[in-house]
Amino acid sequence: MNYNLSKDFALSLDSKDELKSYRKQFHIPKKNNGKEMIYFCGNSLGLQPKKTQEYVDQELKDWANLGVEGHLHAKNPWLPYHEFLSSSYSKIIGAKETEVVAMNTLTVNLHLMLVSFYRPTEKRFKIIIEDDAFPSDIYAVESQIKHHGFDVEKALIKLKPREGEFAVRTEDIEEIIDQQGESIELIMLGGVNYYTGQVFDFEKITKYAQLKGVNVGFDLAHAAGNVNLKLHDWNVDFAVWCSYKYLNSGPGSVGGAFVHERHHNSQVHRFSGWWGHNKADRFKMPDKFNPIKTVEGWQLSNPPILSLAAIRSSLSIFDEVGMDKLVLKSNNLTNYLRFLLSSIENDRIEIITPKKSGCQLSIRVINGNKTLFDMITNKGVISDWREPDVIRVAPVPLYNSYEDVYVFYNILKKLI
């Protein structure tokens, strides 16, 4: 596409946008003067779909009217409620319905997956993770390493980009696998790195690692609902995600997990709870745990229905749009933003997000001075600052417009 720098061009892109009507389905935060803000923070907390209230109200109403009977007789019975999300999740993650489940929250799920897929031995005990992984992920893997009695210094390999680069090269990951493969138990990466926005080559890395018997898991916090995924076909062992970023399901909402179907058997080591037990006799309260032969076998507790209702509302929009159309608009929107930013001649900012990205661009402020971020915030742009020197902006295809991108560019250009 031939982009240009005029506002009319942004408006013409909006008028041709097939997904433009979806913006009206979301609550867009407003400034004091009643004008809508430029909300570029869907990578941190997605906006509320207007219909979510109705979905949550339905469950409050059924609880009020039915009490415990709602488990079986609510309009959407609570006993199997998590199953109502599986079809939508399977399309977003690229998996079979039996491979995805809504449960717990992200870091909790990561620990549960590490229980199953990090089973270190004297010979094979290392974990590979990004050097700039989200802190919670680092804390989780470090604590697991210690839990098994290993030394974090020896067991944790942190992937760094080459000097002067921001993205980690796949070939460098392969080289580490070549050199240390026999001692590596697990590779655990953010599918889309939260800081740089880099999308890892899921398929290539998984294949390469598995040849050496390494387990492969991805944290999809920044990937789910943002980029096209095919976890089943890529043969990934496990994945975890949260639903409050691109999946617009509300602060702290329930997360999800994927376990490849080849691991769905009762021999896999796991932490267990009653919700993971065989549905046919769960309420006979048997003593012996007999896991459901799907990813549901990893569930511990009966889930919070109000949260699942919010997820269900949001996923109904994803069902309607489909990931293909979403990603198509996302690429156009983000490429447009790249184009506009690169037209600003300056020595104060640079985009560190590699070409292979989702919707987020990470803008490095060269001297690490946060005032630029404070100033765009004052102008009504909601983005975020990540230490030491990055402003993350994420134009989200479901509710952001080309005009949003244009207005942001104009604000930034004037400040620079």
Ligand X SMILES: *Cc1c(COP(=O)(O)O)cnc(C)c1O
Where does this chain bind ligand X (CB under 6 A)?
105-107, 134, 136-137, 190, 194, 219, 221-222, 242
Residue 34 or 388: the one with the smaller Cβ distance to ligand X is 388
Q: Is 105 or 335 the residue whose CB approaches ligand X more closely?
A: 105
Q: Of 221 and 239, which CB lies nearer to ligand X in the complex structure?
A: 221
Identity of the residue, 136 or 301, whose beta carbon is nearer to ligand X in the bound complex: 136
* Between 137 and 389, CB nearer to ligand X: 137
Instruction: Retrieve residue 58's tokens.
Output: 């339905």
| Distance, CA of 221 to CA of 218 (rounded, Å) | 9
Rounded Cα gap, residues 209 and 354, in angstroms: 23
| Cβ 49 to ligand X shortest distance, Å | 20
Asked if 252 contacts 105 with a C-beta cutoff of 8 angstroms, the reply is yes
Provide the minimum distance between the beta carbon of 133 and ligand X in the complex, in angstroms, as a whole number: 7
CA distances from 155 to 28, 45, 170, 183, 358 (A): 45, 33, 21, 9, 31
Q: Residue 158 contacts by C-beta under 8 Å, 6 or more apart in sequence?
A: 128, 129, 130, 131, 133
Nearer to ligand X, 360 or 401 (CB): 360
CB of 190 to ligand X, least distance (A): 5
CB of 394 to ligand X, least distance (A): 12
CB of 18 to ligand X, least distance (A): 29
Q: Are 363 and 197 in contact (CB under 8 A)?
A: no
Q: How far is the CB of 48 from ligand X (least distance, A)?
A: 18
Question: 145 or 292: whose CB is closer to ligand X?
Answer: 145
Report the nearest approach of ligand X to the CB of residue 385 (Å). 15
The DSSP line for 111-179 is: HHHHHHH----SSS-EEEEETT--HHHHHHHHHHHHHTT--HHHHEEEE-PPTT-SSPPHHHHHHHHHH
Give the whole-angstrom CA distance, residue 348 versus residue 312.
Answer: 43
Cα–Cα distance for residue pair 136/114, rounded to 1 Å: 14
Question: How far apart are the C-alpha atoms of 123 and 396, rounded to whole Å?
Answer: 45
